[in-house]
């Protein structure tokens, strides 16, 4: 795969990609090609990762092209000024049309995460809104206020409506290597350009599963 075809924005300081589902950002234990491999093959330079997306998650991914740019974007992430918006197709429907999930997370076994016991874990907050409801699934907009690993996936599971496709946290469990795709898409990101200060919004076209016939 040539990632040049998946560039959403490019300048001397950064690139924004529409990450394909099914590719780990870094090498994993499957031996499959990673996004890092594809990036160097496509652009002839090593990626300077600013953040990551789960292997099965598609959509907007920021990549710095200079150390200075990476440091500034990571500072914005640390301050919480970078706004991320995800699309999620879930099983069932939440009890409320919109709400906030404020539940700390902690690491569990075998790369999984879980809702932490009282007094433990790290702060994890996700806003959500239902934008479509079908017979067995619903389409949600999710806005994470913190950036924990698997945050949206675990929060939706705790809400009683896990991702429609998720081998770790969904209703149909299995080996992630057998179905590495998730119904989770990094749809929009807003940030301040690290060089000129312009407020930018980058949008990755929604995947096919997000265009389902929902009311």
Residue 85 to residues 43, 92, 98, 106, Cα–Cα distance (Å): 27, 21, 14, 23
Residues that are catalytic: 54
DSSP 161: -
Residue 125 and residue 123: Cα distance in Å, rounded?
7
User: Are 158 and 150 spatial neighbours (Cβ–Cβ below 8 Å)?
Assistant: no
How many residues are listed for the chain in this entry?
215
CB neighbourhood size of 180 (10 A) = 18
Instruction: Pick left, alpha or beta for residue 76 (phi over 0 → left; psi -120 to 50 → alpha; otherwise beta).
Output: alpha
Question: If residue 159 lies in a helix (H) or strand (E), which one and from where to where?
Answer: helix 151-159
User: Are 89 and 137 spatial neighbours (Cβ–Cβ below 8 Å)?
Assistant: yes
Joined together, the tokens standing for residue 102 give: 């404020």
In three-state secondary structure terms, 183 is coil
């Amino acid at each position: 795969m040539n990632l040049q075809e998946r560039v959403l924005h490019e300048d001397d300081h950064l690139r924004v990609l529409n990450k394909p589902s099914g590719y780990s950002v870094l090498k994993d234990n499957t031996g499959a090609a990673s996004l890092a491999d594809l990036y160097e093959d496509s652009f002839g330079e090593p990626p300077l990762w600013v953040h990551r997306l789960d292997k099965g998650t598609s959509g907007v991914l920021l990549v710095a092209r200079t150390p200075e740019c990476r440091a500034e974007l990571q500072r914005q992430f640390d301050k919480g000024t970078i706004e991320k918006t995800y699309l999620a197709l879930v099983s069932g429907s939440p009890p409320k049309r919109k709400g906030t999930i404020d539940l700390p997370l902690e690491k569990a076994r075998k790369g999984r995460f879980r809702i932490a016991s009282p007094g433990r874990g790290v702060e994890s907050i996700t806003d959500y809104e239902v934008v479509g409801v079908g017979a067995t699934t619903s389409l949600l907009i999710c806005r994470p206020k913190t950036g924990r690993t698997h945050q949206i996936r675990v929060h939706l599971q705790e809400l009683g409506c896990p991702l429609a496709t998720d081998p770790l946290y969904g209703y149909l469990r299995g080996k992630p290597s057998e179905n590495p795709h998730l119904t989770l898409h990094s749809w929009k990101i807003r940030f301040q350009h690290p060089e000129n200060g312009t407020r930018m919004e980058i949008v990755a076209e929604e995947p096919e599963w997000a265009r389902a016939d929902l009311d």
